[in-house]
Amino acid sequence: MPDKKVCEYCGNKYYPSGNQWTRQKFCSISCKDKKAYYRNRDLGHIRSFKGGYPRQVIIRKWVEAQRQDLGTVGCHYCKKRVTPDNFVLDHKRPLMSLTKEEVKDEGNLVVCCRDCNIEKGSQISYEEFLERKNHG
């Protein structure tokens, strides 16, 4: 039997499964996934923060919405009550129409419910969607 191989992620020695001796580079799927994640993150393909924004931005937008609604937070569009566990940040102007500098602008973000975020999508303008929600 040939010698063990060394995992390219964790450095542990292992025997490749089946006839994968020449192709297998990792001791487990977990190591393979972790290596891919860090490689893609370093290349800029994966945002390093959940939801694409640092925790500080998410908290700041939540507190801002809380102050506007005097303690309770309602969806920016339909006014349905949202909690810290179920709200999402929506871009007033879709990401695809923004420059790199504009993406970082917190003024383009609003607190809303997941349903409104999905319904608005990126096909409709902010003003048109707000009008539809207020009169529909």
Q: Where are the domains of the chain?
A: 5-42, 51-135
Top-tier CATH class for 51-135: mainly alpha
Kindly state the average pLDDT of the residues 43-47: 64
Task: List pLDDT tens digits, range 81-133.
Answer: 988 888 888 888 887 777 877 777 888 889 999 999 889 887 788 888 888 88
**pLDDT band for position 48 (50/70/90)?**
very low
Q: Closest by alpha carbon to 104, among 49, 40, 42, 41?
A: 49
pLDDT of residue 26: 92
**pLDDT band for position 45 (50/70/90)?**
low
More reliable by pLDDT, 77 or 50: 77
Q: 3-state DSSP: the chain helix, strand, coil percent, rounded to 5?
A: 45, 10, 45
Task: List pLDDT tens digits, range 4-43.
Answer: 899 999 999 998 887 777 788 999 989 998 898 888 777 7
pLDDT of residue 132: 86
